[in-house]
Structure 1
Amino acid sequence: MAERPRNPTIIDVAARAGVSKSVVSRVVSGRGSVGEETRRRVLEAAAELGYVVNAVARAMVAHRTYTVGVFVRDAATAFYGHLLAAMQERAAFHGYRVVTTTGSGRFAVADEYRALETLAMLRVEALIVCSGLLPAEKIVPFAERLPTVVAGRPETHRSITSVFCDEEEGGAALADHLAGLGHRQVAVIAVPKTSSVTMAPRTRAMARRLRERGVRVLEIEGTRSEEAGGWAAEVLRHPGITAVMAPSDRHAVDLLEQLHLRGVSVPGDLSVTGYDGIGPLSTPLIGLTSWRQPIELIGSGAIDAVVRLLDGEQPPDHHLALSGSLVTGRTTASLSEMSTEEPPHSGAEAGKH
């Protein structure tokens, strides 16, 4: 019977890279000063050998858990699912493990707070909070006990480190896109801050920039995508509106479905924009015009920040706002390319659906 090949060790990596064992240790742990060329050789050697940090053995020696607790509001959604995957990959690079708790997307604030308490009781060394609902004052008590980072939302509380997409930039850029296409009356599905601290600022930025560009804005308050039928009916009661801005891609797709049921062509009768630009809804088959969040950078940046905090250092940016990018799909068109006829089922007929 053939012998099972042994796992490569830190000594093997040191021999392959031509450096000492202590240098390899500094590179894989992210602690201590190592030249960039040396770091590159060590990482290449580790990849060639298939070396993986033995977190359990390291924890026993150092009397640490090397575990980061992550609360994700709803791992079933594309945004949070991709964010969690990015954090797990980056944590493994630093030699840390991730312990996760997740809600169903319908957790109340009290439920999310209890989920963080559960993570803290598991002896995690740090916390990462990924939720657009839990207010800062509920997170601060944990930040006072453990290194804590908020990921994926524009959190600027002075006691909390955060990494997020610049929501103001994204909302304004999408508004500029529609204004540039000639739209002069636009509906914005506006989300209140009490429902989401991510979607609220982006929809505020949409409405504000549109008005700055001289566009008339109809704000329709909405939170859950299940309300899309009501949004569609409200938009069609205002036949002058030629575009609708949704707070996320999921909201936009549900709105597209409701418009289709009412015989409204997109973008022939109405242009529609989303927000996120990740996951299955970003497929060209749907062709959503959207704002793509840099999800991998948010996830890896959150892990890098928490590792720095664990090392007793402050991250270079206490609140790191990352730029996204405009995705120009086929759900928007210039006003000159759209139908000049009134959309189907407008006016009183819209209320029948």
Structure 2
Amino acid sequence: MNKLRSPTIIDVAREAGVSKSAVSRALLGQGDVSPETLERVLAAADLLGYVPNAMARGLVSQRTMTLGVVLRDSTTQFYGYLQAAMQRRAAKFGYEVVSVTGVDDLTVEDAQKALRSLIALRVDGLIVSSAQLPGEDLVRYAQRVPIVVAGRAEYAEGIVSVHCDEEDGGGQIAEHVVKLGHRNVAVLLMSSDESPNGYTRGQAMIRTLEASGVTVHVMELDAYRAPVGLAVMKTLADPAITALMCPSDITMVNVLEELRVQGIPIPGRLSVTGYDAFGTLAAPFFGFTSFRLPVEEIGTTAIDRVIELIEAGVTSEKRTAIPGVLVPGRTAAPPRR
């Protein structure tokens, strides 16, 4: 079977009854093209199923109007909501988004390969949301294409970042626990290598609790999907502990399930807090005590920053820390006396 030939700009010109240069100007939005000619060109392109070659268009305009996005884990809702926010914002500026996502997790090698592949596609800018890819690895690519890190603070030279103010978030939810009257609190602390954000917010929780005279019991998690059974058992083994603070809502759900299986009433015996509060888990039905991560604002601002770099060569702010909001719920209450 013969493969059908893709229509070219010459075919569009013939169908519309105009010159090739008129078609080029009309599709690129350049030069003086009458409304009638534009309408004929667009109608012909639609009829023939003509799709402009982004690579060729980029050679002419020096822009492909595409942004590359690298996301750590497509199975974690944060990255899905972040990608949706970025796509909506990019579309308003006329940009398309091409993304590469990990499944379960994106290794350093996979992330580096994704960066090289997106650069080869001549994207105008890159947004990276992967805790596994250190800023030092991004610096050499930043010399070739504008790069913004979304979701974590990045301090490498020449790299712009947009992230939640984790210090403020961890402090706010810890203050809430203190105000409820808890004086012995367990904190699940994420490894800094596994999750820089989780580690930062956890350390902020610990500092705030200790500054208020609370006895803090730190329990380390090696991974954000690590089993929580051992941490729960250690918490329950000490009757003085009345609250357990988790680094994410997903971790909190696992903790709550473990407590349900053991028949431990929440918050009667133990108050539990999370962190994220967006998407399905933020529904009032669950009533989680948590802290809302500003994922929509992070995605929108990341797009703004990378477009500033593309179009002006500079950005209005190198590091943008966006505040979140405390979400009181039914999973945390004053300790039972």
Shorter-chain TM-score bucket reads 0.7 to 0.9
Query: Using the alignment, how far apart are the partners of 2:233 and 2:280 within structure 1?
Result: 27
Segment of structure 1 superposing worse, 287-296 or 155-164 = 155-164
Structure 1 residues 259-291: Cα deviation after superposition (integer angstroms, max 9, x where no partner): 111111111111111111111111112111111
Equivalent position amino acid for 1:160 in 2: I
Aligned-residue offset at 1:91: 0.5
**What is the one-letter code of the residue matched to 2:75?**
A
Letter in 2 for 1:69: G
Q: For residue 233 of structure 1, what is the amino acid of its counterpart? A: M
SS at match of 1:86: helix
1:96: which partner in 2?
95
Structure-to-structure mapping, 1:74-93, within 5 angstroms:
74-93=73-92
Deviation digits for residues 305-336 of structure 1, max 9, x if unmatched? 0001001342221101011000011100012x
Match of 2:160 in 1: 161
C-alpha deviation, 1:158, in angstroms: 3.3
Q: Distance in 2 between matches of 1:114 and 1:230?
A: 37
Deviation at 1:166?
0.3
C-alpha separation in 2, matches of 1:144 and 1:124: 14
1:304 aligns with 2:304: yes
Deviation at 1:64, TM superposition (A): 2.1
- Taking the aligned partners of 2:230 and 2:285, their CA distance within structure 1 comes to 26
- Look up the equivalent residue of 1:140 and give its one-letter code: V
* More deviation, 127-136/241-250: 127-136
d(CA) in 2 for partners of 1:201, 1:320: 16
AA aligned to 2:264 is V
Mapping 1:231-250, distance limit 5 Å: 231-250=231-250
Query: Matched residues, percent identical?
Result: 45
Which residue of structure 1 aligns with residue 44 of structure 2? none
The equivalent of 1:182 in structure 2 is: 181
Q: Which residue of 2 aligns with 1:319?
A: 319
Matched residue SS, 1:225: coil
**What's 2:228 paired with?**
228
RMSD of aligned alpha carbons: 2.0
Aligned equivalents of 2:106, 2:126: Cα separation in 1: 18
Q: Once the 2 structures are TM-superposed, how far is the Cα of residue 56 of structure 1 from its aligned partner?
A: 5.1
Q: TM-score, normalised by structure 2?
A: 0.81
Structure 2: where are the runs of 5+ without partners? 1-28, 30-50
Q: Does structure 2 conserve the Cα–Cα contact (< 8 Å) formed by 1:133 and 1:197?
A: no
2: CA distance, partners of 1:225 / 1:269: 25
The whole-number CA distance in structure 1 between the counterparts of 2:63 and 2:158 is 25
CA deviation profile, 1:242-270 (whole Å, cap 9, x unmatched): 01111111011111101111111111111
Q: Alignment partner of 1:227: what SS? A: coil
Letter in 2 for 1:276: D
Q: State the secondary structure of the residue aligned to 2:244.
A: strand
CA distance in 2, matches of 1:63, 1:139: 23
Partner residue in 1 for 2:251: 251
Q: Secondary structure at the match of 2:298?
A: helix
Corresponding residue of 2:143:
144
Amino acid at match of 1:236: L
1:177-209: CA deviation from partner (whole Å, max 9, x where unpaired): 000111001111101211111111011111111
| Contact kept in structure 1, 2:126 and 2:148, CA below 8 Å | yes
- In the alignment, the residues of structure 2 paired with residue 110 and residue 294 of structure 1 have an alpha-carbon distance, to the nearest angstrom, of 29
| Corresponding residue SS for 1:162 | strand
Q: What is the rounded CA distance, in whole Å, between the counterparts of 2:213 and 2:273 in structure 1?
A: 19
Find the residue that maps to 1:311 and give its secondary structure. Answer: helix
Query: In structure 1, what residue type is equivalent to 2:110?
Result: D
SS of 2:170's equivalent? helix
Answer yes or no: is the 8 Å Cα contact 1:211–1:217 preserved in 2: yes
Question: Matches of 2:285 and 2:231 in 1, distance apart?
Answer: 24
CA contact (8 A) 2:139 2:157 kept: no
Q: Which residue pairs with 1:171 in the alignment?
A: 170
Distance 1:96 1:318, change over 3 A: same
- The 1:153/1:56 distance shift into structure 2, 3 A limit, reads farther
Matched, 1:117 2:111: no
Whichever of the two has the greater Rg, that structure is 2
The whole-number CA distance in structure 1 between the counterparts of 2:53 and 2:323 is: 39
Asked if the contact 2:72–2:129 (Cα under 8 Å) also holds between the matched residues in 1, the reply is: yes
Tell me which amino acid in the other structure corresponds to 2:289. T
Query: What do residues 16-57 of structure 1 show as CA deviations (whole Å, max 9, x unaligned)?
Result: xxxxxxxxx8xxxxxxxxxxxxxxxxxxxxxxxxxxxxx959
For 1:102 and 1:285, the matched residues in 2 are separated by: 30
Aligned AA (2:319): H
Could you tell me whether the CA contact under 8 Å between 1:287 and 1:331 is conserved in 2? yes
Pair 1:281 & 2:281 matched: yes
**What is the aligned residue count?**
286
